[in-house]
């Protein structure tokens, strides 16, 4: 008999939660234009919108806030952060930024020229936006398995080497400023990249003189999957796996709000001194001094500690297993989810969940809204709305994956909270034919999923065909 385990921490402080009743949730959803991003946090019961900046920090991190050095230049807290990045990830140079997209902005401005192509293992919204704003075209080179939600493959985030070499030969190496590898791949369902694939991509790119840059936001989760699934790594620590992973790259962008276990912060790291010097000059314009990059000393102090804490094998094993705890309940109930279950979230396949809705009727957006209406659980759409429009034709991009992301914040919720989420999704699946589609009533020009507004397609203005059947928690 397998013995059950508990969280590798104990709760020291609590934040009360309140469940709104059905009519209050309905009003909140309507006021938000059926966009879960626009719902106020006080109206949310369990918040699975994102794992970005929603981490519960440790007692050591909270204590570190009190010793943060707030010097404008040369802060001790900056040196602690720099030391942590070098020790755990192995890069020579580090530039702090206020969060990950600050690092994406710097990298894109420094490396991309008009007419360039940036190959990557599936796009991420802000990453692609920065690439396109600087004149590049993103090219998806993820393996085909990454676009199949129901296929169980251990490393669905892998790059297809034949696709990559085809892009290089057709565009020319001089037109490819770098290859962008996400570890893990968010929009594929939090899917990892194998160490062998990272090594092979780096070898191929070195042959053509092309840099490899990681989106390292969830690198610790990727390292865990390598330890668990790849031959030869079962007895290697996550910390050592991370060091090898980053050795097959020339630099990375990092949102510290995920695997660095803090509520704000990020950095751009690299091994090229010339690129570092340019970045150090550019960060002053957009972020702040190279020794704080838009962060307070206390933020840097907390992030330095978070980098060390995240590389602990016990922490990351619990993190992954809690996500699986939710995902396996849904799979057992016959709910269509992306397989295998990823590192930071359970992704519902909205097309399979709501087969009566066409993609243009926004099934993922509608399902996220329905989950909130049913239980006060906030999730988010990752599909047609998030994909935006083709920058040349203006037509809507139509991704193969139409997903709802149930994103688990780190060290925040217990498995009892996961049970509540599972009950809500299962209850909705049993009456899925009552969930109607949505149409967009306001569309921002870029990253529209953050601020877009919607309304139900039904003539009676209801999201659910039979509103009375929706769970009415009090």
Q: Exactly one of 25, 339, 382, 448 is catalytic; name it.
A: 382
What does 140-198 look like in DSSP terms, one character per residue? Answer: E-B-GGGG-TT---TTTT-B-HHHHHHHHHHH-GGG--EEEEESSBTTTTSB---HHHH
184 given a catalytic annotation = no
- CA atoms in the 13 A half-sphere facing the CB of 409: 21
Q: Is 125 a catalytic residue?
A: yes
Q: Which of 47, 69, 215, 299 is catalytic?
A: 215
Among 59, 72, 203, 332, the active-site one is 72
Give me 212's structure tokens: 């490899």
Which residue among 91, 93, 124, 224 is the active-site one? Answer: 124
Q: Edge to edge, what strands does the sheet with 403-407 contain?
A: 345-349, 403-407, 380-382
Alpha helices in 186-231 (DSSP H): 195-208, 219-229
253 three-state secondary structure = strand
Question: Residue written as tokens 């952060």?
Answer: 81
**How many CA atoms, within 13 angstroms, populate the side-chain half-sphere of residue 270?**
21
Q: For residue 450, indicate whether it is catalytic.
A: no
- Alpha-carbon distance 55 to 412, whole Å? 7
Angstrom CA distances, 86 to 242, 244, 250, stand at 12, 13, 13
Using CA atoms, how far apart are residues 202 and 438, in angstroms rounded to an integer?
43
Do residues 245 and 223 make contact, with C-beta atoms less than 8 angstroms apart?
yes
Active site residue 124: yes
Quote the crossing angle between the two packed helices 313-332 and 219-229, to the nearest 10°: 80
Which residue among 45, 89, 178, 449 is the active-site one?
449
Under 8 Å between Cβ of 383 and 350: yes
343 Cβ contact list (under 8 Å, min separation 6): 184, 190, 192, 218, 221, 222, 224, 225, 319, 320, 323
Rounded CA-CA distance 235/453 in Å is 49
- Structure tokens of 353? 């969940």
Catalytic residue (choose from 101, 111, 218, 258): 258
Is residue 449 flagged as an active site residue?
yes
Q: Which of 125, 127, 184, 253 is catalytic?
A: 125
Whether 36 is a known active-site residue: answer no
Q: Is 72 considered catalytic here?
A: yes
DSSP, collapsed to helix, strand or coil, labels residue 116 as: coil
Q: Which residues are catalytic?
A: 72, 124-125, 215, 258, 382, 449
């Amino acid at each position: 008999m397998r013995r059950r385990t508990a969280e590798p921490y104990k709760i020291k402080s609590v934040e009360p939660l309140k469940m709104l009743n059905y009519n209050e949730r309905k009003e909140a959803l309507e006021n938000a234009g059926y966009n879960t991003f626009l719902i106020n946090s006080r109206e949310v019961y369990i918040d699975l919108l994102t794992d970005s900046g929603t981490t519960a920090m440790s007692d050591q991190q909270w204590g570190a806030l009190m010793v943060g050095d707030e010097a404008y230049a040369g802060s001790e807290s900056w040196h602690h952060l720099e030391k942590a990045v070098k020790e755990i990830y192995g890069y020579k140079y580090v530039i702090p930024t206020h969060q990950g997209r600050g690092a994406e902005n710097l990298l894109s401005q420094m490396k991309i020229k008009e007419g360039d192509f940036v190959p990557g293992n599936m796009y991420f919204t802000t990453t692609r936006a920065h690439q396109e704003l600087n004149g590049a075209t993103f090219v998806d080179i993820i393996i085909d398995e990454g676009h199949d939600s129901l296929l169980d493959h251990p490393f669905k985030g892998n790059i297809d080497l034949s696709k990559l070499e085809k892009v290089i030969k057709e565009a020319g190496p001089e037109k490819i400023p770098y290859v962008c590898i996400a570890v893990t791949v968010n929009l594929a369902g939090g899917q990892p990249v194998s160490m062998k694939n990272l090594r092979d991509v780096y070898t191929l790119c070195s042959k053509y003189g092309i840099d490899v840059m990681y989106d390292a936001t969830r690198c610790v989760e990727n390292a865990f999957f390598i330890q668990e699934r790849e031959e030869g790594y079962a007895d290697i620590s996550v910390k050592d796996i991370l060091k090898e992973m980053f050795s097959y790259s020339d630099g990375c962008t990092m949102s510290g709000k995920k695997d660095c276990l803090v509520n704000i912060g990020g950095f751009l790291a690299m091994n090229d001194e010339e690129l570092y010097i340019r970045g150090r000059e550019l960060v002053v314009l957009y972020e702040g001094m190279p020794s704080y990059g838009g962060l307070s000393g206390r933020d840097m102090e907390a992030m330095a500690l978070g980098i060390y804490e995240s590389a602990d094998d016990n922490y990351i094993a619990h993190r992954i297993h809690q996500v699986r705890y939710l995902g396996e309940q849904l799979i057992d109930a016959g709910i269509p989810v992306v397989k295998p279950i990823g590192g930071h979230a359970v992704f519902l396949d909205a097309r399979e969940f709501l087969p009566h809705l066409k993609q243009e009727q926004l099934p993922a957006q509608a399902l996220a809204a329905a989950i909130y209406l049913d239980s006060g659980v906030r999730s988010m759409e990752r599909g047609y709305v998030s994909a935006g429009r083709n920058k040349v034709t203006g037509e809507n991009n139509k991704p193969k994956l139409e997903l709802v992301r149930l994103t688990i914040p780190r060290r925040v919720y217990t498995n009892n909270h996961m049970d509540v989420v599972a009950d809500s999704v299962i209850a909705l699946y049993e009456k899925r034919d009552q969930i109607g589609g949505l149409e967009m009533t306001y569309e921002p020009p870029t990253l529209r999923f953050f601020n877009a507004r919607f309304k139900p397609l039904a003539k009676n203005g209801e999201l659910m065909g039979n509103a009375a059947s929706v769970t009415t928690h009090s």
